[in-house]
Structure 1
């Protein structure tokens, strides 16, 4: 089991431990981030391996719309840090009970993400080629 600490991110606070961020406000509240933004939580751990494991747990929760049930606020939805801490801790415990299954799942998702990035770049290149052909035809 891993120990993690969840704090409200403050840009002036120095961060020396391995970490990642979780968006705390807006429709994408709960989304894990590698880089900070103004409205986010900071999650620190002891090792890079734990950072990667917790990042993917947070990613799965966000993609499954897990945090929508905990969002409050009528104009700008947000998640309270106390709610996030307790729910995230519980979900991390569940994932670590089936740690090998979790690691296999992460590996499969990473492969799909790589494939998606490859296809996105291919589509982008096709769009550029179409644009170049159209520009050439108009001359």
Structure 2
């Protein structure tokens, strides 16, 4: 069983252990992030491997809309820290399964491929813009 600690993030605080952040306000509550924002929790682990596994577990919970049923509030929805802790602890048992590690490796490859495509799309848009501006049109 892995151990992790989840706390409310305070601006300006630095962390020495491997960590990531989980958004706690808005419709994207539960979204794992590498950089902090004012409305987030920090999840600290003992090792980088645990951090990566919990980060992707949180992403899976977000994609499967598991956080949605815990949203409170009518104007700005938010999620309690205990609900996030409970969801992560209840689903932590799947991290030790062998197929999780293979799926995690495959997911990392897909994310790298997605980043490559995003960079290619950005370069293509820039090329299109340069080509369109290269025409000498009268004003």
Instruction: Report if TM-score (shorter chain) is over 0.5.
Output: yes
Q: TM (normalized to structure 2)?
A: 0.92
Partner of 2:76: 76
In 2, Cα distance between equivalents of 1:97 and 1:49: 12
Residue 35 of structure 1, CA deviation = 1.1
In 2, Cα distance between equivalents of 1:136 and 1:12: 46
8 Å contact kept, 2:53–2:95: no
Structure with bigger helix share is 1
Residue 12 of structure 1, CA deviation = 4.4
Runs of 4+ in 1 over 6 A off after TM superposition: none
Partner of 2:7: 7
In 1, Cα distance between equivalents of 2:4 and 2:126: 44
Partner of 2:95: 96
Is it true that 1:107 corresponds to 2:139 in the alignment?
no
Q: TM (normalized to structure 1)?
A: 0.92
Number of aligned residue pairs = 137
Supply the RMSD in Å over aligned alpha carbons: 1.3
